[in-house]
Structure 1
Amino acid sequence: MASWPLQDAKARLSEVVNAAKRDGPQIITRRGVEEAVVVPIDQWKELTRSVKPTLLEVLQSGPQFDLNIPPRGLVRMRKAVRF
């Protein structure tokens, strides 16, 4: 991974993006401290997809079973309890 000072990255953004596509992630530093990373979009999509599943994926990955819910109106209701 290459490292780019923030000033250079701002001035040569096209080069940073091209380097990310060609060589992989590019680190951007500010005063010598790593602050950000530019990654190719396909790698970003892969990372974000694997980090957290959607709610639908979580629900579909759970146990599969049939709920025995009686049709509406066939269940007898209990009388309310009064105190």
Structure 2
Amino acid sequence: MSRTWQLQEAKNKFSEVVEEAIKHGPQVVTKRGVETVIVISYEEYQKLILSQHKLSEFFRTSPLGDVEEELDLSRDPRSARGNIEL
């Protein structure tokens, strides 16, 4: 169960915050009433890191990856700004 801690309380009870993160999941810390950081266990962090994929892999596995049409990546030679007088 995630819990919300005020910054001062989290500083005073840091060991408890860490234990709660290990046993019960992410712990939210607020600063001046605004959710600011989350304390998570190293195991949870590893899961997050390992679940990330490279952007190139995303495009490679995209449903649009097999589109037969070529993308036109050439640049329009016309000026984007037109004539600007200063």
Instruction: Bin the TM-score by the shorter chain.
Output: 0.5 to 0.7
- % identical aligned pairs: 38
Identify unmatched segments of 5+ residues in structure 2. 61-86
The higher radius of gyration belongs to 1
Q: How well do the aligned residues superpose, as a CA RMSD in angstroms?
A: 1.9
Q: Give the Cα separation in 1 of the matches to 2:38 and 2:44.
A: 12
Identify unmatched segments of 5+ residues in structure 1. 62-83
Task: Give the TM-score, by structure 2 length.
Answer: 0.59
Within a 5 Å distance, the mapping from 1:63-78 to structure 2 comes to none
Which digits, 9 at most, give the CA deviation of each residue in 1:20-51, with x for residues without a partner? 11111000000110000001111100101112
State the secondary structure of the residue aligned to 1:51: coil
Q: Give the Cα separation in 2 of the matches to 1:27 and 1:19.
A: 11
Q: Which runs of 4+ in 1 moved over 2 A?
A: none
